[in-house]
Structures are given as structure tokens and as C-alpha cells.
Structure 1
Amino acid sequence: PATTDFLALGKDTPAAASTIVAMLSDAENIYLGIRCQEPDKVTAQQVDNGLVIWRDDVIEVFFGPLSSDRQLSQFVICAGGGRYQGYGNESTLPVDYAAWEGKASVGDGFWQAELRIPFRCLAKTGFGADGDTISFNVSRQRRAAKELSTWSRLRESFHEVENFGVLALVDFNAALTKLTGQTGADVADAEAFAQALHDYDQKQQQAQYERLANRKFAVAPVPVTANFAIPFIPEEVFSPVDEITVTAAVNELKGVPIALANLTDLPAEYQVILETKGRYNGKWGLEGFPPEQFVMRQAVRFKDSDDDPGSLRLDPLPKMNQASTLMVLPKEAGLVWLDFDTTGVAPGSYEGRLRIIPLSEVAKWESIKGAYWNRKYTGDMQDIPFTLVVRNIVLDRDPSLPMGFFQAADNELCFKMMIDIGVRNIGLLPWSFRFPVDDKGDIIPDGVTEKLQEQGAIVTQHEEWARKYGVSLTYFIGFSAYDAFGQVYGLSRKPERKKQVWPQWIKALEGYMRSLGVEPERYVIETWDEPHPDKFPELLESHQLAKAGSSRVRLSLTLGAHIMPVDKMASLAPYTDEWTLWSDGYFQRPEHVQLIREQQQRGVLIRHYTCDTSMRSSLARRYRRNNWFGEYHRLDGNEMFHFADTYGGRGASDWKVTTRGGIVYKLFDEYMPSIRYMALRQGMTDVKYLAALRKLAAGNPEAQAFLEAAPRRVVVDFGHDPAMPDIVRAEAVELILKLQAGKAK
């Protein structure tokens, strides 16, 4: 069959240029013929295999996983003929270009590709029979036009396996039987097959509602990394709970997201309360648990794209309103988020009830035998027993790996939310280190400007907050301090003078930070941010000059999608004290990993960073696994861009436009977390459990073997499985309790 219905990535609009895909199969292979119409310019230069092919026009063919050894199977060919093979982030499966074939050619107003992909490249065994199915998609990059398009409707990334289409081998009827168990269907083509699958899904969903026909609402906890896109109706609510028990350690920030589904055909308002057990009404929270360490939040529906009208998801998490009410649309679910801070809380069980009162349903409050005070409620209100078990496990207050967002806090609440998520590295802007100059244009090192005083006040305030909350901070002075310095002093087009004044600025900055009580060991200057390879000679010289200005100054580089070759990184190594490396670019190449290990042995700090600015990114992969990534690669810190959107000023763009990376929302002086914030915090907590186990593991082979394997299981072996961090954390808890019990004997 052939298909031409490609969409622009993240939109419902057709792609600007047509793409035609035709497919065949035999007993061992899938064959694809792809013709890409190109009204503008075909970019076809790359003949070598590897990441370099994305400098061309490319076609990417994706298959979903058939086993747990990969996130997906990816086969890419560019217009120049170069190829790429991948399995999703962090997979260690072998790349074998000899196992599959791809050829490309360029014509007048088009380019085309032919591929042969053996079934054995998708799974070792068990795939290839008539009626077998696999998740499937084809995507395209038009380099000159800067257009990304896709056959399946994807929201943000080509790696959204959950949104892929379905590829059926040979027989649609056999495929339908294997997928649904139905027999006797007469499906003639792909369109009828898709409609049959849609009808089956609709019947399954209707059957779920029918099983709950005697209920008007249903309640169930959901994972922190659930799919919170609208319409939100998670599978868990079709198995509603009658009681809830959650566990935590001492010093844990425990989030409990709870879905409340409206099973009626009309919008409904509910009051949702967590209270102690009482005859009629209880007290706020749980019996014996500090009420000031418990917060109830509700999720707000908010757009996740400004290019895709009507695309919403649950993300902001403000505190519940004064009436503690939640409105839920029919046949959808709302989300309440219970947040417990167990810092300093004694181990034990803390009990209460989660009370759900439907405000739109009839009810009675009747007297018993005419008594005024003795009353009975009759209605649809539900009391769900709720227990928080705080185990005898004490987590560190500090994160295992410090977090940073390249930003500072603008008030104390923001600072508190930052340290709660593991931030210990504070960003300072180099433009504000503006020292006065003399008549010759040389920097006056002990001079003061208004901008400099403002920067000093920021550092002083953060130091005061750090003392109040008992944390130690480091500082990241970036972005691109070398370029920012040149702009501030009007030297960007005066290269020789720039080289003379640059060491003076470095020395002056060192003195000023010392005057604020911050020694060079506690800050780093990011000289260049994601430098282009053409800038390497100037980059190297800027580091050499900075070290000449002060031997104690610590310099950092942030390297992104322009992958720097190992030999150039090695040339910079003697003058570089920290590296912040793009998560998706530097940790899969053996030569880069070797250099990273060599640098760490020298005492150089290695951090990874992601620059994921989309609300649609996977909570499980991008957020919860962020800390796991650092743990697996034995790094010194995790960075993400960024904490709060600052376009036009802090909070100026919040609520007006879709967030461009910020994981908190601001309203006046109040900050509130997002669900993405919570998923990131969950990953930080996961890794704290490993740190707690590590303290007990000396001399215990079982615990040591577990710690060695755990990060790999989460990041590599089961990197596509959202449940794996929970499974590994539960196993860590069992080992901790087992070792503690053994030491107590």
C-alpha cells in the first residue's frame, strides 16, 4: 500500500511538501519506497553514516518495540545516501549497517529512497507471520525549508511510540483477530482496518463505563508520570479504590496524584478533603501528621501548544481553593495532588480519610429519632480511608546529585521550591558583572557600578537563604561569559583589545566574588555556550587567557548539538574545570565517554543537561529519569533549561502563552509547581533511596550488585518502561529494611 497523508509535526495541518511511502514484505523483510517532492531545494551532501546525516534532507522510518531491549527501532537515510540506525536513548544494542540496506537518489524537484529492513532487525524472533502487527511511523526533515513532517499525528517528538500508527503484515483480517480476538471480520483495506480498530476501542471503553453504571464518580491514585493530556480519563479510575495506603521515608517530599472521574453526562462539582477521622467532620490532614507539612493542590487544564488550538493538558498545580472544590467535565477526570513533607516526621502510620462530596447530587441530613445533634447523612458522598506509612528509612536532605537550572531565585518561595527539587547550583548572568574602566579602557578591579551592586545583592540574598535552609550553594556564571563581556565593554569587534581586557575582567570578578564570601571553588564561569565548531581557535585562546588572568578561576563549557570532536575537547581539557554536556549527544559515543572518565579522574566535574522546552515531553523519560541519567553515567550534576520562564520578566509570559521550558508558574509573588516539576522531583527522590542503600551496602554482595545494576535497568534496559523506577525503588526499600534489621540484631 502507499500513503501520502503527512502532517506537520505537532499540528493538524498537511505538510507543505508531499511524501509518498509504498511498502511490501516477503518472508524475511519489509521493503519501503519513499518519494519526497521538494519544491524548494534538496540538501544532499552526506554520504557517511552517523549523526552527520541530519545536515541533509532525511527520511526516518520507526518501528515500536517488540521486546524490552529497546525503546524503538529507527532507520534513517538522507538524500546524500548516508544512514543512521538507533533504538532510542541509551540503548546499547549493536548498530549493524550491513544488516539493512538503503539507497537514495535525487531527481528534478524530488528525492527518493529505497530501504530493505529485515524482520530480525526489529526482533530476534517471533515477528514476520501473516497478521503480525507493529507500531510504525515515517517522518521527514526538509533541511532548507526547516519543516518536520510525519505520517502519524505526533505532538512533539518523532520518538512518541505511543502515538505511532499500526503496520499489519499481509492480512488485515488476521491482524484484527490477533489484536482483538474477533473472528469473521471482512476488512478490505487499511482504512477499514483502522475503522475496525477504532470501533473495537470504543466498545471496550463503553464496556468499562457499563461496569461502573451504579457509580456517579470514581476515585483512584495515578502515577506521577501518567498521561495528563486532555481528555484525561486514566485507566486506573475504572478500577476505583475503597482505601488508599501510601508509603514514604523520613525527609521525603511525597506526592500522591489522585484522579476523580465524573461518570455522569453532566459537569459536576466536588468537594475533596483529606481529614482526620471524626463523627461528622474531622480536622485538616492526617491524625498526628504536622498539618503545616501537608498541601492539597489541584491540576489546571492549560494549553500545551500555541500552534495547535484546543490541545490541552493538566500541568499547573495551584493550591486547592478555599472551599476545596473541583469541577470535572462529564466522562473525564480531574486531578487532586496531595503533597506530604515528612521532614523530621517520626516513622509510623498516619491515618485519615479522603472525603469526596458531590455538590450537584441530592442528599439528606436526617435527624435520628428527632434528635437535633444526632444526624445521619444519606447521599453519594464517599469516605476513602487514607493511610500514610512513614518507614524507618531516613533520606538525605541534600540531593545525591546537585541540580541546576542556569537561574537564580527572585524570592524566597522560589528559592525554597528550587532547593526542594535538588537545586544547589545557582545561575548568575555575566552581563551584570560590569566593572568600571579608566580612561584607557582598562578595568578598575575594585570599582563599583550599579549593575555590579545589583548582582552582589543577588549573591548576598542567596547566601542568606542558604544559611536559613541549611544548604551549601555553588554558582554558575553564564551564559557565554566571553561573548557577554565583549558586548558589555563594546569589544565584540575589537578582537585584540578584547584579548587584553578579558584577563582583567576575570581577575576583577574573582576579587568581587571573594568580597561577597564566595571563593573560586564555589563558582564557575561558563565561557562559551554551545559553541560552533568554527569558533574553536578563539575558544581555546579565551580559556588560555582566562587562566593567565587568574590561575584559580574555574572555567566551564556547555556543549550541545554541535558535537565537539574528542581531540578538540582534549586540547581544551588543561584549561577547563567543568563540562556541561548535552544529554542526547555525548554519552553514547565510546570516545567521548572515555574522555569523560579521564577528566573525572583529574577532578574535573561533568554535568549533563537537557534543553527540553515542551510541555508534551515524556514525564517518564525526560523528567523522572533526568536524575537517573546522571546516576547511571556517574556524573557530578544534573542541569535543565530552565526553572521559570523569564521572557519579558519573571512571570510576564506565564498563563498567556505555553511555557517554553519553565517548570513552575508565577502569579504575582506566588510560585506554584507543575506536574513536570513533580516528576523531576520524583526522580531526585528515587536516587536518594539508592544513596541510602549505598550507606548500608559495604560488605553486602547482594546490595552492591543491586546498586550496580539499578541505574542501568532504569535508563537502558527498561528505559521505555514508566513503571521501572517504581519497581527499582521498591526493591531498594526492601534491601534497606533488610540490612537495617540485620544490623539491629
Structure 2
Amino acid sequence: MNDIELERGAQMKKILFALGLSAVSLFGADNLIRNPEVDGDAWQKEFRVGEGKNQVELTQFVEDSTWNRCLKMTLNNYYISKDGFKSVNAGVMLGGDAKKPGFPCKPDTVYEFKFELKGDAERCMLNYYQWDSKGKAQKKQTKIHLIRPQKEWNVYKGTFRTSPTAKRAALFIQFWGDAKRKNLREKIGQHIMIDKITVQEISEFTPGAAPEKAGPVNLIPAPVFVLGENPVVVDGFKDLMEDKPAKLKTTAEISRSADALRVKIDCFGPVTSDAYSGTGGGAIWKDDLVELFFESKDPNTPYLQFVISAGNGRWMGNGKPGTSDDYSGWKSKVSRGSGRWTAEAEIPYALLGYKQAPADGETLRFNLCRQHPAPGTFDQPDYSKGNRFGAHMMFDNSSVVFGRGSNSDTKRFAILFFGTMKPYCDQALAGVSAGERKDPTVKELISKLDPAQPGIAFAAAAELEKRVRLLRLGKEPFLLAQLKTTKDFALPFFPNELQNHGRLLKIRAAVNEQAPLMLSLANMTALPEEYRVIVNSGWAKQDPSQEWGSMVTGLRSADGTAFPAAKIELRRGVPIRDAETPKHERLLDVLAKVNEAATIPVQPREAGLLWITFDCTDAKPGIYKGRITVLPLNGINQTFKNSRSGGYAVKGASRDFSVELEILPIVLPKKSSIPFNGYVRPADRSGFLDRYDCFMRMVTPWYFTFTYNDDGSVAEEKVRSFLDPQLKLIVDAIRKNPDINDPKIMVGYSVYQVWKKRLLPKKFKSGTPEYWNAWRNFCLGIDRILKKHGVSRKEYTMEIFDEPHLKDFPMEELSRAFAEYKKVMPDAQTLLTSGTLYSLLPGWTEKVVPYLDQWIVHSSAASIPEPRKMFDRFKVLPGKKTGIYICGTNMRQDCYRYYRLLPWNVLEAGADFVSLYQLFPQSMANDLYRIPFGDAAYVLPDTVVPSARLEFFRMGMTDIKYLRLLEKLASGDSKQDREDRDFVRKAAKEVYLVSPHDAGLAGKMREEAIKRILKRIK
């Protein structure tokens, strides 16, 4: 572990592992920094200068070679006091939005932060800011506080606790020095760079021990309302965008009759528009209106929505495409009073999904919302007039619960209890044992289960359930849980999902999918342990010679169809350093096959990573069930003959965890929907490239060591001795896969640059006729050698330049290299990697584009407006192909954002193929002696081992298989076809461009695509 920070390692580990349970988030652990890698143009909304605004400058810095974007803070000016002393006190706030600094946070809550930093400044300081509901700021130190930047990237981690009144918070990294105090070491021009920033909530609850912070439990009242015989008042409306009271007063009453729910909403203030009085249609959305949202009893319907305008216009929706034309099921009425207008609605219980009037104790989630349009029209947003801008209008939106910009987020809805909430409180208490009630925190939470205080009681019940679960988990000798969105495999590894120990392990896949099941296995004891892991479907008599049955490996469907163990691959995460520096961290990145005994070692009070892949190639659709048996080798077990199963029953240290594999009646293509270039040169002897759909092999120009006559003709086509054997292996491999895409071979990297600077004799002066003749003959010689091995011109492409720099190769030389190549081989293919700066220069379209067949741009450039325009123009030209690539060399790249979203980038940009630098290293000597330098797999003498990073990339490629299949099925011109194609387009944009920070969104979009596909094939 990096010894620079280690706040958590010393203090927190002592607390959190008191009885073997690490920090477990009770609310999930989403990153509160939306743009952690400082990508794109929106970074300025989230990162801003704090305090000395004219002293430092923030810029987005792009590192050479890797094109990695990061945040750079440079010291530009000192503050000069009246008595002439220099000082500096300025820094960067990490977290915020376009309106204000800071991300939303919870009061009295512990957050863990992590970021990378380097620079030439001698020092910088790390603090954090927090703001209360009135905007009052408070600055506090973290325990790291002082950082001494290094020349290379280093990871810094720690924690901070918010105050009981905190609403927003931000990290603050600053320069500070004062000459008057003889403590000014900062120099003009010094800088720091920051990257990969995360801030996540953690919990300090420890099973069997009191929380770290003594004192009463701090509960935030939940938005709970109890509807008895009399109407219940609902008030306290919140602003849509910020957690603060709404500008306009709004109050509501909810009442009930024998067959309907009644809602009355009083909207105080002027009515700006009441033009609409009809039903349905979009005109209503420009008026003063109220919205009533209710949860849906139908799991396939997101919610129920009823809208009433000030003109008594009505609208209905349910979160799905299309609207209803039948408004007869519910009633509305609008009236005017002094300084207010009132909307009343009567909605039958049947319309809300009830078969009869709700009984006492039943619940209904809801939200009540109001929209008020500001007078006039606006060309630009004016947030002094409202909080939402659209159709040249400003709107002020508010709701009962703070929706963080969305009124329809059902997870944030208020809760309505019918009659009483006493049964709910009784049920919460019933599951707590006598021993657990002795826990101080449990005792206090029980005391707050008072139905007379419904908001506190509801919050207490939720906390009680979590607390009891954590107490029980702490007594387990080991924990096993499924990982869904874990994207940081750094040690210490103790993922939040371990709180889900014991729950069903469920995988959903299509035919031909390689379906991953990520598991974390935690050792809760004080000693190292080795765990045998068996995927099985119980005991059965499989051989008539057996007196008693044996364990049946693999899974089984209800009709007895087997999902055999041979198609289930178990790998474990092996820790490896993440940098070739003395100060480095360790990552569970090497996914090595488990040994003959299928065991995985786990250190005491730590967790391991288990990666199980189900090969669903040609599998029969259906639900396959079984269990994962975890057997601690040092635990004590007893076995008993079981006459019912014909096998054995086991009691003791081992545990069985139910697993369910659902294979959908969806057939994905076996080959990737996006051709994949992994920049691989070593010949593949293990079938590894085929497993990951890597379609392109590389031939390096370094092997073509021709000699030349004075006129530039080739005197001898000399080559390195290993070129021919390597070409034979490459050609044999591609001939075994005749259906893979052309071009199948890339000659690269940067053929022209290598030829000019390393292979061409110095006697040739650049730009002379002899020089260009030598270049043409070099290219023709490569072509002849490839042809001799049976490779046609359509099967290979030549990368003329790889990330050329203007200072090394001006436009005239770059374009001439392409033109001379095409002069002698007009039907041969050319490739340029990146070159986005050239595309913005005069002459690009006329001098380069006509000679360029494939253009690969960096992932970041695909989302920058001007290069993206040139990319879009190029890709629609006849015969042109485009690709997107990444080339980061840092092993700490975000598994979700960097790897899984790369194929989404290709889909969003409309590119033809995806390139990942690089699938595995060019040197066979790397083995595990050296860490990957951009490599996504490890090459050993007799095999290739994947990384966790590569598996995330494969998840992304599988996502795109589903989306492309949906596009294919929706190739017609029906309304549903158009909607499905529109969904694919919008999904790609939302996942990659709008919300790349949401690590669960790609999976959600895949599930939506599955739902649409199933609807079509049923």
C-alpha cells in the first residue's frame, strides 16, 4: 500500500475490523465526483478555483503518448500585501456543479476519498469544505493535510466526516505560503496535476461493537405521512434542483373515501398561464400545473402520473412510451382563490392497482409536484426566474421530496401509510433477537420506533434492519457476495456488496454469451484460509457402481438439462503491483485459473476476488439452478448419508450459496458486433485472440531492413530472421477464421516514422526524388513479402503514422507520405492513428483524406466538438472506415469508465471498429517480471492470462452485441422499429457522453435492450 496517505490503514482499519467487518456502505458507494478523470469540456463545472482566484490557473492537461487528460493547477501570481510581503493562498475545489461548489452530502457521515497527484511543486495541502443549508462554509483539515508531490503519479486516500448540518462538501487542494512568516516556498510556474478522483460514502458500523462516534444515532426523518380518518397535510415542498425550500409556497391534503384517493393541492402565487383545458397533448407543459406521481403495482410500469393544469387541462403517463386517451377513470377540479389556485383530484384505488380499498398498515409511495412558468420568453437561461429552462421558457419546479433534478425517481418518493404504521414498526421489531437488542445502537433505534413520529420511526426501522444485518454478518466466519458494479480492485479489497452475503447469486445471459459472475469472498477470521469453491447442483447417484451418490458439478434445469462444469471457468484475482515504483499499490488484476483443487486463498480479515465465467455458446435457453459450495480447508465438517438424495449431507464450516443462471431465448452473434484490434504482434498459440474476438494481427516495420541503391531503388530485401516464421503463424491463424473482417493485418506502428528515423540510410536527404523513391520501394517491398505469404492487399493495411506531432511532421510531409504510397499501390490500404490536430489544418480535406482509408481517433477526441465534426465528415465518405482507440498505460484506469465504456464510445460515434492499446505486450519476456504498460492481458511462456480490466472491456463488447441485435431486429419502418432504433442511439449517448459517472447505467441499458428484444421475439 502507498505509504503517503494511510489515514484509513491505521486508524480506520483498527476500528472497522474490530470484529472482522470492513467498511460496509449502507447506501451503496457511488462516486460523488461525476467527471473523475477530467474528460471532455464539462470539467469546469465540477472543478473551480477557491480562495485566491487570481493566483492560480486551472487547465485540462493532456499527457503525451497516452493522451490521458487530467486537471492541472499552476501558480501564476503572488498576493502582495500593503507592506510588500508575498504570499499565496489559493487552490482547487474538487466537486460541484455549474451553479455552486460542492457535491450533495449527508450530515454526520464518513466519506472516503481517493485521487492521484503529481507535480513539481514542493508541497500542497489537502483540506475539505462543507456548507450547511444556508450556504455557510466551513473549512477543515483532512488527516493527510500535507502532500509532497512526486514526479510520477501517486495515490492518496483518506476519509473525512461531515458535520451534523452539512448539505454539500468538496475536497480542497491548495498552495499556501507566506513570506512574512518566512514560510514561502511556492514559486511562480510550479504546478500539480490531479486525476482519478473518487469520493464515496462509507459506514463505520462494526458488528458487535459500538460505532466509532459515541452519542445518539443521527436519524434524518423520512418523508412519511399517515392517512387516518382525517385528511393528512403534505407540505414542505423542495426546489427541484437544490435541497432547499421551494420559492413558491405549496401545500396539499390527502384524504380517502371508500373507493378513491383524493388529493387537494393549493398553489400560492400568481397564475402565469392557464391556456390549456383539454386532455392529453404537449401544450399542457407550458402552463402552471401540478403533477401527482404514484408507485405502480405492475413491475413492468415505472410509475403512474396524473397532471392537472391551472386551466383544468389533464395529462396522464406511466414512464413508458405513448400516452393514454382514456381519462374517464379519474376526476379533477380547479378553483381560484385570493393569491392562489387549487387543484383537486379523485383517483379510484382500482386505477392505482388496488383490488379493494387499502387496509390499515398498507403503504403507497408518491410524489406531489408543482410547475410555475415565469412570464416572457428567454433566449438564454435566467436562473433568477426559475430552476429549469426549456422551449425559451423558465420554469420553477418543486416537489414534496427533493428529487435531485427528477420528480419521477421512485426511489425518492414519499411514503403514505393507510390508517396506521404500527404494524410496520411491529414487523421491524419482530426480527430482532434478544441478544441483538443488547447492542447499544439497536437499543436506541428500537426506542425510536414510535408510530407517533412516523418520519423518525421509518428511518429508525431502516437503520435497525441494516444494523442487525451487520451484527449477524460479523459473526460469520466468511462472507460471499455477488459484485455488480465494483470497479476498483485495489487492496485492501473489501467491497460494499459483502453486506449482501447469503443472497441469491443470479446471472442473466443470452445464447453464445460469455457470462461473468463476479464474487467477493471475505475471510472474517484472524488466520489465513484456503477455500475450495465448487459450482454444483447437489448430490446424486451418477454411476450404478456407486453405493452412494457424489456431488454433481455444473448446474441443472428443471427438465434435467445440464449446464456442464466443462463450460464453467473459475478464476481468482491475484494481487500485483500497479506501478514500477517503490511507492505503489496492489491490484487484484491477474485473473488466474484456480488450481486442481479449485481453491482460493484469502488473508485474514480481507476479501478475495473470484471470477466465474459461464460459456453459453450454443446453450439451450432456460433457467439452470444449483449452488456454489464454499469449503474452508481448515474448518471442521461432518458428513452424513442422505437417503433422500442418495448422497451426503454436510454440517459444519462449509456453506452453500444458491445460484441461478437464466439463459434467455436470445441468440447473440458469436463474433463481436464491433471488430476489435488489440495491437498484437506475438503469434497467438492459445486461442486467446479468438476468445476475445480480436480480429487484427500486427507486423512491425522494424523487421524490414532493406538496403538501397543511390537512386532509392532496393538493392536487397533484407529482413530480420524471425519475420518469415512469424508471418507463417499469423497467416495460419487468420486462415482458420475466414469470416473475420478485413483488413486482418496491420503493418505498424508508424511505418513512415520508423522508416525515416531508423531504417533509412543517412545518405538520403529528406524530400529529394531519391528519398521519396526509397519510400515507395520500401512499401512495395513489404507488399511483395506479404503477397509471398498469401496476404492480399485487401487483407492488410499500413499505418503510415501513429500519433504524429506537427513539430516532427508538418502537413506537407505527412500528406506527401500518403500520396507517394498511393501512387504506386492505389488499391492498397492506409491507416492513420489520431492526427486530430492535422484534421483542423487547411489542406487536410484535399491533401490527406483522398489517400486515407482508415482513421483511428483517440477516445477523448471523439467527444471534442471540432475534431468530432471532421470525424463525422470522414466516416460517411465512400470506402472510408473509422475506429476509436485508447492507449493509457496506467493500471489504475477505471474498469467501468475506461474499459467497459470504450465499445459504447464506438457505438455513439458510429465508428467501424474498436482498438485497445494493447491486448498483451510485444515482448515475451515480460511474464510477471514487469507490470502491464497498457496491456490488458499477461503473456506467460505457455499461456495468456486475462486481467480484470480486460473482462470489463468484454462486458462492454457484449453490451453492444445486444444493442446491435436490437437495431437489426428494428430495421423496418414501424413505429416500434423507429422507437427501438431511437432507444439505441439515445442509450449510447446517455451512457458514454451524458452519464459516464453512473457505473450502473450500461447494465440498465442492456436490460432495457433485452426487454425490447424479448418483446419482439415472443
| TM-score, normalised with respect to structure 1 | 0.75
| Residue correspondence of structure 1 range 64-75 to structure 2 within 5 A | 64-65=33-34, 73-75=46-48
In 2, distance between residues paired with 1:667 and 1:688? 30
Tell me the matched-pair count: 640
Q: Which amino acid aligns with 2:684?
A: N
Give the unaligned 5+ runs of structure 1: 1-8, 15-61, 87-101, 180-196
Matched, 1:526 2:799: yes
Secondary structure at 1:456 match in 2: helix
Q: Which amino acid aligns with 1:555?
A: T
Hey, what does 1:12 align to over in structure 2? 4
| Closer/same/farther in 2, CA of residues 572 and 141 from structure 1, 3 Å limit | farther
| Deviation string, structure 1 residues 260-316 (Cα, Å, up to 9, x no partner) | 112222222211111232146323322312443221111112212232546212111
Secondary structure at 2:727 match in 1: helix
In 1, distance between residues paired with 2:683 and 2:787? 22
Matched, 1:352 2:626: yes
Q: Which moved more, 1:682-691 or 1:226-235?
A: 226-235
Q: Does the aligned pair in 1 maintain the 2:528–2:603 contact within 8 Å?
A: yes
Q: Which moved more, 1:150-159 or 1:397-406?
A: 150-159
Q: CA deviation at 1:589?
A: 2.9
Q: Which moved more, 1:704-713 or 1:653-662?
A: 653-662
Matched, 1:578 2:854: yes
Q: Does the aligned pair in 2 maintain the 1:476–1:524 contact within 8 Å?
A: yes
Hey, what does 1:549 align to over in structure 2? 824
In 2, distance between residues paired with 1:518 and 1:147? 56
Secondary structure at 2:696 match in 1: strand
Secondary structure at 1:725 match in 2: helix
Matched, 1:377 2:650: yes
Q: Does the aligned pair in 2 maintain the 1:436–1:449 contact within 8 Å?
A: no
Hey, what does 1:733 align to over in structure 2? 1010
Match of 1:616 among 864, 887, 892: 892
Root-mean-square deviation (CA), in Å?
A: 4.5
Secondary structure at 2:659 match in 1: strand
Q: Does the aligned pair in 2 maintain the 1:560–1:582 contact within 8 Å?
A: no
Q: CA deviation at 1:653?
A: 2.3
Q: Does the aligned pair in 1 maintain the 2:486–2:495 contact within 8 Å?
A: no
Q: Which amino acid aligns with 2:734?
A: E
| Closer/same/farther in 2, CA of residues 388 and 658 from structure 1, 3 Å limit | same
Q: Does the aligned pair in 2 maintain the 1:251–1:394 contact within 8 Å?
A: yes
Q: Which amino acid aligns with 2:673?
A: S
Q: Does the aligned pair in 2 maintain the 1:285–1:294 contact within 8 Å?
A: yes
In 1, distance between residues paired with 2:830 and 2:962? 32
In 2, distance between residues paired with 1:368 and 1:131? 54
Secondary structure at 1:691 match in 2: helix
Q: Does the aligned pair in 2 maintain the 1:607–1:637 contact within 8 Å?
A: yes
Q: CA deviation at 1:674?
A: 0.9
In 2, distance between residues paired with 1:283 and 1:128? 51
In 2, distance between residues paired with 1:140 and 1:375? 56
| Closer/same/farther in 2, CA of residues 215 and 446 from structure 1, 3 Å limit | closer
In 2, distance between residues paired with 1:364 and 1:135? 43
Give the unaligned 5+ runs of structure 2: 7-30, 62-73, 128-143, 171-200, 213-440, 442-466, 541-548, 557-561
| Residue correspondence of structure 1 range 186-585 to structure 2 within 5 A | 200=204, 209-223=470-484, 225-279=486-540, 281-287=550-556, 288-307=562-581, 309=583, 311-366=585-640, 376-413=649-686, 416-435=687-706, 437=708, 442-443=713-714, 450=721, 452-467=723-738, 474-486=744-756, 487-491=758-762, 494-495=765-766, 496=768, 497-534=770-807, 535-536=809-810, 537-559=812-834, 565-567=840-842, 569-570=844-845, 571-584=847-860
| Residue correspondence of structure 1 range 99-248 to structure 2 within 5 A | 104-105=76-77, 121-123=97-99, 142=119, 145=120, 151=126, 172-175=163-166, 200=204, 209-223=470-484, 225-248=486-509
Match of 1:587 among 862, 865, 870: 862
In 2, distance between residues paired with 1:139 and 1:250? 41
Q: Does the aligned pair in 2 maintain the 1:224–1:678 contact within 8 Å?
A: no
Q: Does the aligned pair in 2 maintain the 1:492–1:498 contact within 8 Å?
A: no
Q: Which moved more, 1:338-347 or 1:719-728?
A: 338-347
In 1, distance between residues paired with 2:635 and 2:602? 14
In 2, distance between residues paired with 1:614 and 1:568? 36
| Deviation string, structure 1 residues 610-660 (Cα, Å, up to 9, x no partner) | 1111221100100111101111111111112111123xx31x223223221
Q: Does the aligned pair in 2 maintain the 1:79–1:112 contact within 8 Å?
A: no
Secondary structure at 2:733 match in 1: helix
Q: CA deviation at 1:501?
A: 0.6
| Closer/same/farther in 2, CA of residues 132 and 139 from structure 1, 3 Å limit | farther
Q: Does the aligned pair in 2 maintain the 1:138–1:151 contact within 8 Å?
A: no
Secondary structure at 2:484 match in 1: coil
Q: CA deviation at 1:222?
A: 0.6
Q: CA deviation at 1:492?
A: 8.3
Secondary structure at 1:533 match in 2: coil
Q: Does the aligned pair in 2 maintain the 1:407–1:643 contact within 8 Å?
A: yes
| Deviation string, structure 1 residues 647-682 (Cα, Å, up to 9, x no partner) | xx31x2232232212111233211111111110100
Which structure would you say has the larger Rg? Answer: 2
| Deviation string, structure 1 residues 690-744 (Cα, Å, up to 9, x no partner) | 0111111132233122112110121122210111111000110000000111xxx
| Residue correspondence of structure 1 range 673-712 to structure 2 within 5 A | 673-697=946-970, 698=972, 699=974, 700=976, 701-712=978-989
Q: CA deviation at 1:209?
A: 4.7
Q: CA deviation at 1:164?
A: 8.4
In 1, distance between residues paired with 2:719 and 2:930? 38
Q: CA deviation at 1:178?
A: 10
In 2, distance between residues paired with 1:13 and 1:640? 32
Secondary structure at 1:383 match in 2: strand
Secondary structure at 1:399 match in 2: coil
Secondary structure at 1:426 match in 2: strand
In 1, distance between residues paired with 2:934 and 2:885? 13
| Closer/same/farther in 2, CA of residues 140 and 302 from structure 1, 3 Å limit | closer
| Closer/same/farther in 2, CA of residues 225 and 472 from structure 1, 3 Å limit | farther
| Residue correspondence of structure 1 range 641-652 to structure 2 within 5 A | 641-646=917-922, 649-650=923-924, 652=925
Q: Which amino acid aligns with 1:589?
A: I
In 2, distance between residues paired with 1:116 and 1:295? 47
Q: Which amino acid aligns with 1:362?
A: I
Secondary structure at 1:661 match in 2: coil
Q: Does the aligned pair in 2 maintain the 1:566–1:592 contact within 8 Å?
A: no
In 2, distance between residues paired with 1:177 and 1:541? 56
Q: CA deviation at 1:684?
A: 0.3
| TM-score, normalised with respect to structure 2 | 0.56
Hey, what does 1:597 align to over in structure 2? 872
**Percent identity over the alignment?**
24
Q: Which amino acid aligns with 2:881?
A: L
Q: CA deviation at 1:377?
A: 2.8
| Deviation string, structure 1 residues 417-443 (Cα, Å, up to 9, x no partner) | 223323212222112234565686622
Bigger relative contact order, structure 1 or 2, given CA contacts below 8 A and separation 6+? 1
Secondary structure at 1:466 match in 2: coil
Secondary structure at 2:714 match in 1: coil
In 2, distance between residues paired with 1:63 and 1:604? 41
